[in-house]
């Protein structure tokens, strides 16, 4: 995923707790094809049904139509969910530091890796980032949104991206809507950006993704 430009991880979600309905009519496999044609490096598929309107079938149908990596985005708290993700065609899974004890997080990282799933370890604070690094996470997501309050803080990625070791993939998440937003996170040291609502809401997702690709990466200090 680490090329000369910032990779775009295009996310499909029908609704969210912070925005409500985004586009309930999304057909996962068609959205996935559009994202791939637009130049997405990977696709994030929300499979959580209650708050986001997703399901595992979305992951399966997308896998049948696209060749790029798929991230299963859900509240993963049990190792059985990792086996389910692998069987449905996921290449990676989201693990949220705040949702797991350090011991459980370590076990989930180990299990995911053994299943050939790449754990994307998501953090929001310095202490969460330190734990992710300590546990050897190879891909770390910096979420601008506090999942407890749902408040956004653009200073979070600005502050934390530069602290991610250079050998680790750093992904900026949440609050990214425009090319200028991608460029800002590139300057802060992002290797990739995960963009959900702006792309899911678009009537032309292929063009929407294409408009956000090609932003040059900047080396981090570490």
Identify the burial level of 20 via C-beta atoms within 10 angstroms of its C-beta, where 0-12 means exposed, 13-18 middle and 19 or more buried.
Answer: exposed
Residue 13 is a catalytic residue: yes
Task: Report helix, strand or coil for 147.
Answer: coil
Sort strands 92-96 and 20-21 into parallel, antiparallel or unpaired. unpaired
Residue 104 is a catalytic residue: no
Of residues 144, 174, 197, 200, which has the active-site annotation?
174
Model confidence at 94, pLDDT cuts 50, 70, 90, reads: very high
Of residues 173, 197, 200, 206, which has the active-site annotation?
173
Q: What is the CA radius of gyration of the chain?
A: 16
Of residues 16, 61, 143, 200, which has the active-site annotation?
143
Provide the pLDDT for residue 147: 85
Cα separation, 30 vs 32, in Å, equals 5
- For the structural domain made of 7-210, what CATH number should be given? 3.20.20.70
**Which residues are registered as beta bridge partners of 28?**
none
| Crossing angle of helices 79-87 and 102-114, rounded to 10° | 30
Contacts (Cβ under 8 Å, ≥6 apart) of 129: 123, 140, 142, 160, 163, 164
Identify the burial level of 220 via C-beta atoms within 10 angstroms of its C-beta, where 0-12 means exposed, 13-18 middle and 19 or more buried.
Answer: middle
Place of tokens 């929001």: 124
Torsion sign (Cα): 215, 11, 92, 16: positive
Provide the pLDDT for residue 207: 98
Of residues 16, 73, 84, 197, which has the active-site annotation?
73
Residue 134 is a catalytic residue: no
Provide the pLDDT for residue 102: 98
Cα separation, 166 vs 33, in Å, equals 32
- The closest alpha carbon to 117, from 164, 70, 62, 74, belongs to 70
Provide the pLDDT for residue 148: 85
Model confidence at 222, pLDDT cuts 50, 70, 90, reads: low
Domain ranges of the chain: 7-210
Q: Which long-range contacts (CB under 8 A, 24 or more apart) does 60-64 make?
A: 60/88, 60/89, 61/28, 61/29, 61/32, 62/12, 62/28, 62/29, 62/31, 62/32, 62/89, 63/88, 63/89, 63/90, 64/29, 64/89
Of residues 122, 128, 144, 200, which has the active-site annotation?
122
Cα separation, 181 vs 174, in Å, equals 10
Residue 173 is a catalytic residue: yes
Lowest mean pLDDT among 15-24, 51-60, 170-179, 198-207: 15-24
Q: What pTM does this model have?
A: 0.94
CA 132 to chain centre: 15
């Amino acid at each position: 995923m680490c090329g000369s430009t910032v990779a775009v991880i295009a996310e499909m979600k029908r609704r969210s707790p912070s925005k409500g309905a985004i586009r309930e009519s999304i057909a996962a496999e068609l959205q996935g094809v559009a994202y791939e044609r637009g130049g997405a490096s990977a696709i994030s598929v929300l499979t959580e049904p209650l708050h986001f309107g997703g399901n595992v079938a979305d992951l399966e149908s997308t896998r049948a139509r696209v060749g790029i990596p798929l991230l299963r985005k859900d509240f993963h708290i049990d190792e059985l969910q990792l086996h389910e993700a692998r069987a449905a065609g996921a290449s990676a899974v989201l693990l949220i530091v705040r949702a797991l004890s350090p011991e459980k997080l370590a076990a989930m990282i180990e299990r995911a890796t053994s299943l050939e799933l790449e754990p994307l370890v998501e953090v929001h604070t310095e202490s969460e980032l330190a734990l992710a690094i300590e546990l050897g996470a190879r891909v770390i997501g910096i979420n601008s949104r506090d999942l407890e309050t749902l408040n956004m803080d653009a200073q979070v990625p600005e502050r934390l991206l530069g602290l991610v070791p250079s050998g680790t993939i750093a992904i900026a998440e949440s609050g990214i809507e425009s090319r200028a937003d991608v460029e800002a996170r590139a300057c802060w040291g992002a290797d990739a950006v995960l963009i959900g609502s702006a792309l899911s809401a678009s009537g032309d997702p292929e063009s929407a993704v294409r408009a956000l690709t090609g932003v040059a990466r900047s080396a981090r200090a570490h």
